[in-house]
Amino acid sequence: MVSLEDVTSGLTEPAARIRKAVRPVLRAMAAGTPGVGPDDVDDLIQSTLVNVMSRLKADGEIVNLEAYARTAARRAFYAHVRQSKMVVLLEPPPDKRVPVTEPWLERMAKALEPSPSELALGDLDRSRYAEQIRLALEALPDSEREVLILRHGVGLSAEDVAACTGYKNATTVDSVAARARRRLEVHLSPSLLGWAQGQGRPRPSSPA
């Protein structure tokens, strides 16, 4: 726990700890987001630092400084994405949920693409599939939605997602992602079946 007394007495270096905690998180998220560059990352590190130090000054203490700083950095990143004119958003920016960008969605569609046998289609309409993923994401709980976007959209490793979000470890992240994918598939299935029938390629009947 870091208190304001620690800061003023010089016993700790919270600013250095905050920077160390948020720098890899922001760099990893920026790497998977076209339109967000090194200068943006530096600005986000600084704004997160100011934010967290202001909170420390107001409350007098923060129980887990690094975890709090990473959460603040993540939220700052999402706010930057919503406001940036360089990033192509695919949903209304005022929403406080994790935004969905065009590159993230394209990456998710590729990562979550079903096999031809699952689709019963010769070819997959990727743009339409991506749009269906975007719509299906809206039905997911916020925590599962964020994990899927970070893991398969931004392209973070399970370890990085755990560091960003505060999950215990990569195994927990994989478990949450698997559960989210199952939920996503429930919402996608009717649409995919519709495409198959609409293209004159109905699913093969189940064996008796």
Mind listing the pLDDT tens digit for each residue in 142-174?
A: 999 999 999 999 999 999 999 888 899 999 999
**What is the rounded CA–CA span in Å between residue 47 and residue 190?**
44
On the question of pLDDT at 126 being above 80, the answer is: no
pLDDT at 110: 84
pLDDT at 111: 84
Beta bridge partners of 136: none
SS3 164: helix
Query: What are the phi and psi torsion angles at 117 (to 5°)?
Result: -65, -30
First to last CA, the chain: 63
For the chain, the residue count is 208
**What is the rounded CA–CA span in Å between residue 171 and residue 25?**
18
Closest CA to 149 of 159, 163, 134: 134
The whole-number average pLDDT for the span 113-129 is 61
For the chain, give the percent of residues with pLDDT over 70: 76
Supply the mean pLDDT for the chain: 79
pLDDT at 133: 86
**What is the rounded CA–CA span in Å between residue 139 and residue 190?**
14
For residue 124, the one-letter residue type is L
pLDDT tier, 194 (very low <50, low <70, confident <90, very high otherwise): very low
pLDDT digits (tens, 9 = 90+) for 36-83: 999 999 999 999 999 998 888 888 788 888 989 999 999 999 999 988
On the question of pLDDT at 89 being above 60, the answer is: yes
Element (H, E) at 3: strand 2-3
pLDDT at 9: 43
**Which residue shows structure tokens 């603040």?**
72
Higher pLDDT, 198 or 60: 60
pLDDT at 175: 96
Domains belonging to the chain, first-starting first, are 1-87 (1.10.1740), 88-208 (1.10.10.10)
